Amino acid sequence: MKLLDDLCNHLYDMDVEWHLCGGFAIDVFLGSITRKHKDIDITVSLMIWKYVFST
């Protein structure tokens, strides 16, 4: 969960719109971790793609 917390904090600090999707999104919706995850899926607007991945 620390990796997810770190990612969320970083994206909030960048003040960009993003959305959690995939397995972690389901777990957040359910309110508990249902399985071990190997990645975190997020979506960002193509308009800010370069900004997000340049930092």
Strand partners, 21: 41
CA distance 29 to 55: 29
- pLDDT at residue 26, rounded to an integer: 94
pLDDT in tens, 2-33: 877 888 888 888 777 888 999 989 998 999 98
CA distance 40 to 45: 17
| pTM, rounded to two decimals | 0.62
Contact 7, 25 (CB under 8 A): no
Cβ count near 20 (within 10 Å): 19
Tokens standing for 23?
Answer: 């397995």
Domain boundaries, the chain: 2-53
